[in-house]
Amino acid sequence: MEELHTHTPASKKREEHMNCDQPEDARRPYDTFLSVASHELKTPLTALLGQAQLLQRRMQQNTNTSERDRRAIDTIVQQGQRINHLINSMLDISRLETGQITLNRMPINLSYVVQQAVEELHLSLVCHHIVLALPEQPLTIYGDSLRLVQAFQNLLQNAIKYSPNGGPISIQLETEGQWALVRISDQGIGIAAEAIPHLFECYYRGKCNAAHHISGLGVGLYVVHEMITLHGGEIRVESVLGQGSTFTVLLPLHVR
């Protein structure tokens, strides 16, 4: 692991992003479209996904269900969750751009947050396995657990997605001075050194993805970075091309 990168505060990056892309006025119709479209898509999708998950549970319990039908409903649920994830990211982008994200912060044990993020992903693991190392004592931070679960899920989903040959995904929690650290490592395709400074830009996608046929919108890491920055934290990236990547999230420990 060789490249280490710490990122600039969200507000500064947002300014740079707005300036280099388009003037704020020009972006407004686009942001409104994004926000309205995401909301309009979310309502029917929530109903569709809810019913599909209900069918999935029934089929799992019914011994007469054929393997083919079971696989079909699993695909519907998985793809529905994928669309849901994309819509949530689009909604978050428009909320972030308009400063409308509010955090519901309280003292929470970071180990619980990480466990929850892992639990929700377990069902979708096929050729990967998760190696989780949690400390015995609670690591208390002052945060919004829903938002943090979402951020860790994004990082875990990337770890899975960018290691197409499978392998271990390790998650380690530890403390360093006043910080709680969550380290997520994979043994996947890795990231080119010149890509690292751009990873957290909105819509940025690495050049290597095409060779590996890995699709995406390039918004996940942007949202993660903004969420962690709103919590007073940082993200660091270490990676060696072809060998894997480690994303380390640092969050301030809560001292009473």
The answer to whether 151 and 228 are in contact (CB under 8 A) is yes
150 sits near ligand ADP (criterion: CB under 6 A): no
Which one among 3, 206, 229, 250 touches ligand ADP, defined by CB under 6 A?
A: 206
142 sits near ligand ADP (criterion: CB under 6 A): no
Instruction: Please report how the helices 10-21 and 24-61 are oriented relative to each other, as an axis angle in degrees rounded to 10.
Output: 110
The closest alpha carbon to 76, from 37, 41, 50, belongs to 50
Nearer to ligand ADP, 132 or 217 (CB): 217
Nearer to ligand ADP, 220 or 233 (CB): 220
217 sits near ligand ADP (criterion: CB under 6 A): yes
Q: Which amino acid is at 229?
A: T
Nearer to ligand ADP, 135 or 242 (CB): 242
Quote the tokens at residue 86.
């994309």
Nearer to ligand ADP, 144 or 201 (CB): 201
Query: 30-69 mask for ligand ADP (x: CB under 6 A)?
Result: ----------------------------------------
3-class secondary structure per residue, 155-216: HHHHHHHCCCCCEEEEEEEEEECCEEEEEEEECCCCCCHHHHHHCCCCCCCCCHHHHCCCCC
Nearer to ligand ADP, 144 or 226 (CB): 226
Binding-site size, ligand ADP (CB under 6 A): 21
Residues 215, 164, 193, 6: is their CA dihedral positive or negative? positive
The answer to whether 110 and 145 are in contact (CB under 8 A) is no
Q: Rounded to whole angstroms, how far apart are CA atoms 171 and 184?
A: 5
Least separation in angstroms between residue 183's CB and ligand ADP is 12
162 sits near ligand ADP (criterion: CB under 6 A): yes
14 sits near ligand ADP (criterion: CB under 6 A): no
Least separation in angstroms between residue 10's CB and ligand ADP is 15
Beta partners for residue 253, in sequence order: 141
7 sits near ligand ADP (criterion: CB under 6 A): no
Sheet holding 234-240, edge to edge: 128-133, 167-176, 179-186, 244-252, 234-240
Which one among 156, 159, 182, 250 touches ligand ADP, defined by CB under 6 A?
A: 159
Query: 172-201 mask for ligand ADP (x: CB under 6 A)?
Result: --------------x-xxxx-------x--
The answer to whether 90 and 219 are in contact (CB under 8 A) is yes
158 sits near ligand ADP (criterion: CB under 6 A): yes
Q: Rounded to whole angstroms, how far apart are CA atoms 251 and 235?
A: 9
Q: By CB under 6 A, which span of 31-39, 93-101, 122-130, 217-225 interacts with ligand ADP?
A: 217-225
Least separation in angstroms between residue 226's CB and ligand ADP is 11
What residue ranges bind ligand ADP (CB under 6 A)?
158-159, 162, 186, 188-191, 199, 204-206, 209, 216-222, 245
